[in-house]
Structure 1
Amino acid sequence: MDLGRLRTLRELSLRKTMASVAEALLISPSAVSQQIALLEDEAGVELVERRGRGVRLTPAGLRLVEHAGRVIGILEEAKTDLAELKKTVAGELRVAAFPSVAASLIPPTIRALSQRFPDLVAMFEESEPVDSLAALRAWQTDVAIIDDLTTSAGLAEAQVETLHLFDDRLQVLLPPDHRLADQAHISLQELATERWALDTTSATYSDVIVAACQEAGFEPIINGRCHSFEVVRAMVEAGCSVSINPGLRGRDYIGTLLLKEIRPTITRRIFVAFRSGELRNPAVAGFVEGLRSVVAAMADLKGRIGAAGRPQTEM
C-alpha cells in the first residue's frame, strides 16, 4: 500500500474532515478525497463513511490506521537510527511553538543551532499547543513547545516525551490610570465589574481565563475578542478593557501598560515535546539543548522562569 495514502488516512482519523487534512498536508480537499478513494481500491474495502462535512472511519479504516501508525513509527525510528550514525547533521528540523513563547525562545535557539550544525535548516511554524502536539503525533513536526493549560493528557495517541522548561505566571494587564494601579498584586474578584479583552487566537487559552473568572465567582464581561495580542494591548491602552497576559510576554513591548501579579497565582508549565526516543537524533538533541540554554539564560528575569526539569513520558 502507498505510504502517502496511509499517512492521509491517519491524518483523517485525527482531524475528522477532508478540509482540515488538506490544510495540514498542503493539498486540496479533492486530492485528499482522491487519496482515500485510491487507498480503498488498494484495500478492497470501504475505509470511511462520509457524514455531512465530516467523515467517520469504518472498522476496517480504524484497523488500517493502527497498522499505519506502526509502519510510520518504524520508518521514523529508522530515520533516527541513521541520523544518529551520520557524521554530518544536515537536512531539515521542523519546530512548532505558540506565539507568546516563540518570540522569546525560538530565534536565539535556531541561531545557536545553525552555528552548531550549519548544514541543518530549522523550519519554524507558529502553532497553538494542541495543534503542535497533533502535528508531532502525525510526524508533521519534530519538536513542539506546549503548555499544560491548553493541552490535555486525554489527547495522547502515541508515545511522546516531554521536558519541562519553565513555569510562567499569568499577569493582569491594566491601563496606567486604572483604579488598581498602585496595588502590587490583584485578585480576580477585584476585576469582576471590569470589561475584558481576550486573545482568542487559542480558544482553549481564552476558555482558561473565563473559567478562572467563573471560579472566582463572576462571569467576565467581554467587550473584545481579539485575534492578536496587539489588538488586546490597544484595547487596554485605550482604557476600554483589562486583560490577562502571559508573564513571558511581559518581556515584549507593552508601552505604558501595567502588569500586576494575580493572587492566587495562575501558572502554566511550559514543555518541549518530541517523539519517544528521538533525543538520539542529533538535530533534535541539539535543538532541545539550545532551547534549555536559552531558558537558563533567562532565569533571572523577575523570577518567572523555573529550573529545567527532567524528561517524562506521556502515554
Structure 2
Amino acid sequence: MIDPRRLRILRAVADHRTVTAAAAALYLTPSAVSQQLAALEQETGHALLTRSGRGVRLTAAGEILLSHAHAVLAQLERAEAELAAYAGGAAGEVTVAAFATGIAEVLAPAIRDLAGRSPRIRVRVRDSEGDESLTLVLDGEADMALAVEYRGAPREGDVRLARVPLYAEPFDAVLPDGHPLSHHPHIELAGLAADDWIGPYPGNPCHDVVLLACEQAGFEPLLVHSSDDFRAVVALAGAGAGVALVPRSALRGMELKDTVVRPVEGPAPTRRVFAAVRRGAELHPLIRPVLEALAGAAAGLPTG
C-alpha cells in the first residue's frame, strides 16, 4: 500500500529539484525526506529518483508515479472539501499569498465583502511577489495564491492547481517630464530603445512582461535601475533616471510628480491576474466563498 504522505514528498522533490529544498518547504529534515523516499521506493519496488548535477530528477518510474500522485492528492483535497461541506464548515481561516497591488485592488475589497457575507471566514494575507505565491500553495503553506502570468508559470489545466482568471490590465509607459516623446498621445516602445530603463527584478512576473514587450518591439531594454516597488520606479522616472512600464492599477492614486504617463501604441503589454488553489480544493466551503469574493472584486475594477 502506498502512503499518500510520501506522494506529497515525491511531488515536493519534483517541484523543487533537490531534497534539501523540498525538505525546507515541507518543514522536514533532508534526512527525513530521504528516508520517506526510500520507503516509497520500497513500497513500489522501483527506483524513483536519480542524481542530476547538484539536484535530483525523477526516473521514468518516478514520473509515472508522480502523474498518479497528482490525481490522488487532488482527490484527497476533494474529499476534505466534501467532508467540510457535510459538517457545514464555512468557518475557519484561509491563507492567501498575494502581490502588493493585487492585495490593494481585489483582496482587500474581497475581505471587506466576506466580512458581511461570510463573517466566520477569516482571511490571513501573506505578501508574496513573483512566483513565490504559487510555490507556497503547492507546498501547503498557503491555501490560495493571487498570482500573475509569467514565463514558466503553471499553465491552465495544470494537474496540481485549479485557477480562476480575475482580471487583465495594460502597462503604461512612464517617462520623465520633458522626455522627447512626452508630447505624444501614445508611445511606441521602439522609440525608447536608446533610453535607460527602470524595472522590477528578475523573478517578478512584471520583469518578464517588460522584457517580452521590448523584445516584440525589436530591442532589449537596458535595465539600469531595479525595484519591485512601483512607487520607487515612478520616483526614479520623475528624477530623470530612465523610463519604465508600469501596470495601470499601480499608478492609480500615485503621485506622478515630474512624470508623463502614456498608453503604449498597438497591443499593450498586459498583466493577467488569477487566483489558484490546490486542485480539488476549489469547492471547499472555506475556499469557494473567497474565490467568489475575489471574482466579484475583480469585476468591479475600473477598466481605464
1:38 CA drift (Å): 4.2
C-alpha deviation, 1:204, in angstroms: 4.7
Q: 1:258 aligns with which of 243, 257, 260?
A: 260
Distance 1:252 1:19 in 2: 43
Aligned partner of 1:291 in structure 2 is: 294
Q: Deviations over 1:68-94 (max 9, x none)?
A: 323222211111112222334123323
- CA apart distance, 1:8: 1.1
Give runs of aligned pairs for residues 106-255 of structure 1, distance below 5 A.
106-128=107-129, 130-133=131-134, 136=137, 141-150=142-151, 156-158=157-159, 160-255=161-256
Partner of residue 270 from structure 2, selected from 267, 279, 290: 267
Q: What's the offset of the Cα at 1:251?
A: 2.0
Higher mean alpha-carbon deviation, 128-137 vs 240-249, is at: 128-137
SS in 1 for 2:286: helix
Please tell me whether residue 59 in structure 1 is matched to residue 34 in structure 2.
no
* Unmatched segments (≥5 aa) in structure 2: none
Deviates more, 1:137-146 or 1:172-181: 137-146
Percent sequence identity is: 34
Q: Measure the CA separation in 1 of the matches of 2:247 and 2:57.
A: 38
Letter matched to residue 280 of structure 1? L
Distance 1:151 1:65, change over 3 A: closer
Query: SS of the counterpart of 1:282?
Result: coil
Does structure 2 retain, via aligned residues, the 8 Å contact 1:49–1:55? Answer: yes
Is residue 7 of structure 1 aligned with residue 5 of structure 2? no
Q: How many residues align?
A: 301
Q: Could you tell me which residue of structure 2 aligns to residue 81 of structure 1?
A: 82
Letter in 2 for 1:220: P
Tell me, in whole angstroms, the C-alpha distance in 1 between the residues paired with 2:106 and 2:172: 19
Give me the CA root mean square deviation. Answer: 3.0
Q: TM-score, normalised by structure 1?
A: 0.80
Work out the CA distance in 2 between the residues paired with 1:76 and 1:34. Answer: 25
**1:233 and 1:77 mapped to 2: Cα distance?**
45
What is the TM-score normalised by the length of structure 2?
Answer: 0.83
- Residue 104 of structure 2 corresponds to 103
Q: What amino acid is the match of 2:238?
A: E
Which AA in structure 1 matches 2:82?
D
Name the SS of the counterpart of 2:298 in structure 1.
helix
Secondary structure of the 2:197 match is strand
Distance 1:163 1:74, change over 3 A: closer
Give me the whole-angstrom Cα distance separating, in 1, the residues matched to 2:30 and 2:229.
Answer: 28
Cα distance change on mapping 1:235 and 1:37 into 2, 3 Å: farther
Counterpart in the other structure of 1:308: none
Shift of 1:44: 5.0
Secondary structure, aligned partner of 1:173: strand
Separation (CA, whole Å) in 2 of partners of 1:65 and 1:5: 11
